[in-house]
Amino acid sequence: MRRITQLFYLFLSTQLRSVQAQASTPQPDTLSLQPQDPSAFFLSEIQGQPPQTRTFNFDITEVNGAPDGVKRTMLVVNKMFPGPTIEVNQADRLVVNVHNGLTNKTSIHWHGLFQNGTAFFDGVSGISECGIPPGETLTYNFTFGEFSGTTWWHALSTEYTDGITGALIVHATAPNPPSTPKYDAELVLQLSDWYHLLSASYLPQFLSAEGIMGLPGAEPVPDTGLINGIGQYHGKGSFFTVGFQHLYRLRLIHTGSFPSLRFSIDSHVLTVIEVDGTIVQPMQIAGVQLGVAQRISVLLTTNQKPNVYWMRSELDTAMYNYVNPGQVTDIRGVIRYSNFKSNVTVPVNTTDPGPGNPKVPDFSEAAARPAIAVNPPASTKQYDLSFIFNPGPTGGVLAFINNISWVPLTNTFTMTEVQAAPITFAPEGLQTLNQNTLVLTEMNLQTIDLRVNNLDNGPHPFHLHGNKFWIVGEGAGTYTNQKLNSNNPLSRDTIIIPASSWVVLRFIGDNAGIWAFHCHIAWHMASGLLMQIVIQPSKIAAAAIPGAITQQCAS
């Protein structure tokens, strides 16, 4: 890898600062949450170093911030937003000492990781722990096993909507497949929607019978969006300077809470090479849609006329149920060629000119194929799951999977309950516990098909913890034994299930643990759109849950 990362830098121009000042006259200190060292988003050259333990200290606190110039209360790690980028090699061990400086319990989930043998470090309150009590610390300590690629860490509740997020990059031990072009440098781009109020101030109205704007079940519509934690409310965006005639790997991560978004760069064709940690055969694209929590790596070749170009992260307003006055959905940053000799800082024209080649399509998940072909085995178990939104017992709209809306356990968690009664906690198959918990249990090794029907009229990005799944089928309507594809299908860990559609997701249940399967829209988790998959309870019973986790429940 060539040493050219010093060519990059990220800065807020004085022009942008004045735009921000006009927007809300923020206090000077409220702009300082972004890393002062812009190299935080450019990956280092640790790849190839000997395996080692990498230790981070996370201090979660409530602060005032103004990522887009509008001051608000935020919850952040180490007074940074986004939080620290964790960059490791696949054979490393990661140790993160997480101190909870908030007034509520919290936990950190390491998205996409398999946590093989360490399911108790999955960071889900009510499932793998009770949550870190205020003032206390939990040390997460795990290895990566078979996982490599682009991912992120976040609080597993709407607390992440308030700022507890960061990138997690796991460099693979194996070299990239020959089909992957060699790139010169890597840049992490965390794309998100953004709200001007704390998530806790939206939740009661969202879950109430009358709903927000008198619309029961309508999700809070974000005010704007951010790129690496910087946005300009009615302003311009983040700036990146790139070398001429270089090949960059842009690691895109949707760290937001609600709308999907479309990423593109004006006048540049991009090449997709990674989907949620799976290296895919290179695909030339004009733009790519990401649902909440999805990751895509694209290659950018800086071979156009030296100039400034818009980088776009457009929020999908089709998912909004009302208009939020002043909402900004056209989120932009700037790519500046280092050999562009001009005082011009932003492109004059704001209209999207496209990628420069009208024949190049947007990314198609259905057309994506892993670079290293794998045909999944036939399934040995099949389960039908349907989800829908309906008024709950108190009138507010809740989400239901097979008629069950999830309510998290408090003062205990599923893993410790399974340990106490591995045979009787939940019989094999689909079971409902306490009328508020849907559990799928497999006692033995199985290859499982989740046949999921989205009966709702909106799309939902579903995430399976602890595993990647193969997408062996998808289509409109409901699943009625349509033909499935096991010829090198894409595998990933988060899939957008379109409105009124079905998918069949296949995975091998060889990772003992309790794995959440849920919609990643933060508001929908709060409405109960989550179920649990209990894999091999006898092995879960043998796991040594750290005392620091079981002791959380007494607080």
User: Which residues lie near Cu ion (CB under 5 A)?
Assistant: 460, 519, 521, 524
Contact 476/537 with Cβ under 8 angstroms?
no
Contact 98/156 with Cβ under 8 angstroms?
no
Q: How far is the CB of 493 from Cu ion (least distance, A)?
A: 16
**For Cu ion, the closer CB: 298 or 401:** 401
**For Cu ion, the closer CB: 109 or 524:** 524
Alpha carbons 298 and 305: distance in angstroms, whole number:
20
**For Cu ion, the closer CB: 409 or 496:** 496
* DSSP E strands, 82-232: 86-89, 93-100, 108-110, 137-143, 149-155, 165-171, 185-194, 224-227
3-state secondary structure of 27: coil
Q: How far is the CB of 368 from Cu ion (least distance, A)?
A: 22
Alpha carbons 440 and 461: distance in angstroms, whole number:
20
Enter the tokens of residue 410.
């408090």
Enter the tokens of residue 491.
């595998």
Cα 161–chain centre separation:
11
Q: How far is the CB of 340 from Cu ion (least distance, A)?
A: 42
Alpha carbons 520 and 503: distance in angstroms, whole number:
16
Q: How far is the CB of 518 from Cu ion (least distance, A)?
A: 8
| Residue closest to Cu ion when measured from CB atoms | 519
* Residues 6+ positions from 83 with CB-CB distance below 8 Å: 58, 76, 77, 153, 163, 164, 165, 166
**For Cu ion, the closer CB: 42 or 258:** 258
Q: How far is the CB of 389 from Cu ion (least distance, A)?
A: 9
**For Cu ion, the closer CB: 529 or 534:** 529
Range 206-235 burial, b when 16+ CB lie within 10 A, else e: bbeeebbeeebbbbbbbbbbbbbbbbbbeb
Q: How far is the CB of 217 from Cu ion (least distance, A)?
A: 11
Q: How far is the CB of 322 from Cu ion (least distance, A)?
A: 17
**For Cu ion, the closer CB: 156 or 519:** 519
- Starting at the edge strand found earlier in the chain, the sheet holding 437-442 runs 429-433, 437-442, 530-535, 513-519, 460-464, 494-497
**For Cu ion, the closer CB: 521 or 526:** 521
Q: How far is the CB of 457 from Cu ion (least distance, A)?
A: 12
Phi and psi torsions of 22, nearest 5°: -70, -35
Q: How far is the CB of 258 from Cu ion (least distance, A)?
A: 9
**For Cu ion, the closer CB: 468 or 524:** 524
**For Cu ion, the closer CB: 236 or 460:** 460
Q: How far is the CB of 524 from Cu ion (least distance, A)?
A: 3
Q: Which residue has the tokens 């290659």?
A: 299
**For Cu ion, the closer CB: 495 or 535:** 495
Q: How far is the CB of 528 from Cu ion (least distance, A)?
A: 11
Amino acid letter, 320? Y
Amino acid letter, 138? L
**For Cu ion, the closer CB: 514 or 519:** 519
Element (H, E) at 388: strand 381-391
Cα 1–chain centre separation:
27
Contact 229/201 with Cβ under 8 angstroms?
no
For residue 189, which of 265, 113, 122, 257 has the smallest C-alpha distance? Answer: 265
